[in-house]
Amino acid sequence: MRCNVNKEISVTVDRRSMMSDKTVEIVEVSPRDGIQNEKCILKMDAKLSLVQHAIAAGARRIEVTSFVNPKKVPQMADAEELAAALPRGQARYIGLALNRRGFDRAVAAKLDEVNFAVVLSQTFSHRNQGMSTEDGIALWHDVARAAEGQIGAGLTLAAAFGCPFEGEMPVERMMAVLEKALEVMPAELTLADTIGVAAPSDILERVGAVKARWPDLPIRLHLHNTRNTGFANAWAGLQAGVRSFDASLGGVGGCPFAPRATGNIATEDLAYMLERAAYKTGWDIERAAEAACWLEAELGHEVPGMVMKAGIFPPASKPGISAA
């Protein structure tokens, strides 16, 4: 497979305006969640190339970095440098924050959006952010109010389907935490299957519960394919009315603070499934697969994506992806 690495990119950003029921947004997370658990630390030029590859393939929102302690997540140590070098006007850029300092850094870096995480379980919250869930909620209220007029602010509920330390997270627990957290509303709520434990029935139940309580709140799903249910869960999300999903080129990803939290659903595989089912994603699947191959070479090991190996169907009419 060949990768297209030096193509000129000229796009006009459309921020999810009036998406039809058959239009689905894929938010690219490989520059952040995709590489944060990798032993190989990508250099700045490689990270910028990854962002450019994603834009060339169709990404319009990209989670590019996280503003966290570089001693704990060394892969994200260059967050400010990366933000300063991003090609502006080609996509909306998101940064992850876990505390007020991280939020302030994201604002100073002039990203378009900040994604703030609250963890559903107490144990994982302490492991991930060094605070209780209740303290995380209070911090969310603080940064959400501070974000007004400065930066778009979304909320991610991490471990929304299960915790690596406490096990099952009852839906009643999820709703109780959200009742408190959503006293200050986010621009968007992301339900994260951080360790990839959900089944489609869990997606239907929890998305349905949130939609019944807050029908006008945009919902995004962050799904991991740890136990090979990620794409079935994405399909269940579609049936529940979700139209925005996180994914990572090549299916790379994982959490440094959660045991065995392996890869995200692969962007090119998700785009293939959706386009095959007559949904519109705006992604060029061939280019996404080429980008996944490029990322695989940069990381130096095989990545989980499947379309990058099998090719699209019907077979590609131009060189770049083998139909064999």
Judged by DSSP in three states, 298 sits in helix
129 exposure class (CB count in 10 Å sphere: 0-12, 13-18, 19+): buried
Q: How far apart are the first and last CA of the chain?
A: 11
State yes or no: is 255 an active-site residue.
Answer: yes
Judged by DSSP in three states, 93 sits in strand
Options 3, 40, 163, 255, the catalytic residue: 255
Return contacts of 65-70, CB within 8 angstroms, 24+ apart.
65/31, 65/32, 65/95, 65/96, 66/32, 66/36, 66/95, 66/96, 66/97, 66/98, 66/102, 67/95, 67/96, 67/97, 67/101, 67/102, 67/103, 67/105, 67/106, 67/109, 68/96, 68/97, 68/98, 68/102
What are the residue numbers of the active site? Answer: 255
